[in-house]
Amino acid sequence: MRPPVIWADCTREELREALPESLVVLPIGATEQHGPHLATGTDAAIVEAICRFAVVRAADSARMVLAPCLHFGVSEHHLPFGGTLSLSPETAIGVLTDLARSIVECGGRRLVIVNGHGGNRGVAQVAAAKIASAYDMTVSVIHYWELIADAGGTPIPGHAGEFETAMLFALRPEFVRQRRPRTPPEESGVDGAEMHEAAAWRRIDGYTDDPTRATHERGTEWLDECLGALAGRLIELANRP
């Protein structure tokens, strides 16, 4: 079994050899409030772990390089709750663009951004499009939770609700504190409209559904589904002509 290539663990010579033929996998997370019951490192911890595991699984089937995780994301809407380290969207786009430019200058031609935080959707899309045009590089974006095929009614990913709590049971159980059952407040969205509203976050105290529904078993299943799907997608992306 071929070992995976971890950028930070390699020398420049090893990377100069690997990059032109490899898919660079860049995990991006967040450090932000996750209600009173989850650690603020939740998003970064999950996305870093699943990328690492998926790259290991995929190492025999395709060439990949795993870049260091970006632990900070766009979390302006979580700042009022405390415990949050947020990048402005302009800075986040700058970081992603600078990293992609670096990869190109070092010989890389393919990049996938694996995103672990909903607030990063826009900047990931903006940066990917910009990079692809500016450097004639192939850039993909995967929001890891979209790899879950059917969650049986659980909001995916929600925020600090059943899904993320369960994922942490499987990956970082020490990140889960005492949970309180909650009846999620009635927040009727408008179908087909993506709404941004600070007051809405305040009404739900910064997290979505009921974290006490999360079980270790469910977390293991979801994690396994994510890993299988992610490894498959990475292999497909790496092996495209």
Residues numbered 152-211 forming contacts with a second copy, rule: CB under 8 A: 174-175, 177, 190-199, 206
- Angle ∠(214,76,180) on CA atoms, nearest 5: 25
State the virtual CA torsion across 180, 183, 186, 188 in degrees, nearest 10: 80
Residues in the chain: 241
Instruction: Provide, rounded to whole angstroms, the least separation between the CB of residue 110 and a second copy.
Output: 9
- Cβ-in-10-Å burial (0-12, 13-18, 19+) of 109 comes to middle
Contact segment (CB under 8 A) with a second copy among 55-63, 91-99, 151-159, 163-171 equals: 91-99
Instruction: Provide, rounded to whole angstroms, the least separation between the CB of residue 161 and a second copy.
Output: 15
Could you tell me which residues come within 8 angstroms of residue 134 by beta carbon, excluding any fewer than 6 positions away?
A: 97, 101
Q: Which is nearer to a second copy, 212 or 217 (CB)?
A: 212
Q: Which is nearer to a second copy, 59 or 111 (CB)?
A: 111
Instruction: Provide, rounded to whole angstroms, the least separation between the CB of residue 154 and a second copy.
Output: 18
Could you tell me which residues come within 8 angstroms of residue 190 by beta carbon, excluding any fewer than 6 positions away?
A: none
Contact segment (CB under 8 A) with a second copy among 150-158, 163-171, 216-224, 230-238 equals: 230-238
Count of residues that bind a second copy according to CB under 8 A: 98
Q: Which is nearer to a second copy, 128 or 170 (CB)?
A: 128
Backbone angles phi, psi at 190, to 5 degrees: -115, 120
Instruction: Provide, rounded to whole angstroms, the least separation between the CB of residue 223 and a second copy.
Output: 16
Q: How far is CA 154 from CA 88, 162, 165, 209, 224, in A?
A: 30, 7, 12, 8, 17
Instruction: Provide, rounded to whole angstroms, the least separation between the CB of residue 182 and a second copy.
Output: 16
Contact segment (CB under 8 A) with a second copy among 7-15, 51-59, 161-169, 208-216 equals: 7-15
> Residue 27 corresponds to which amino acid?
P
Which residues, 47 to 86, sit near a second copy by CB under 8 A?
67-72, 74, 76-77, 79-86
Q: Which is nearer to a second copy, 14 or 217 (CB)?
A: 14
Which residues, 8 to 27, sit near a second copy by CB under 8 A?
8-16, 19
Could you tell me which residues come within 8 angstroms of residue 49 by beta carbon, excluding any fewer than 6 positions away?
A: 171, 172
First to last CA, the chain: 24
Cβ contact 120:47 at 8 Å: no
Instruction: Provide, rounded to whole angstroms, the least separation between the CB of residue 57 and a second copy.
Output: 16
Q: Does 138 bind a second copy (CB under 8 A)?
A: yes
Which residues, 98 to 137, sit near a second copy by CB under 8 A?
98-99, 102-103, 105-107, 112, 119, 121-134, 136
- Angle ∠(108,112,115) on CA atoms, nearest 5: 145
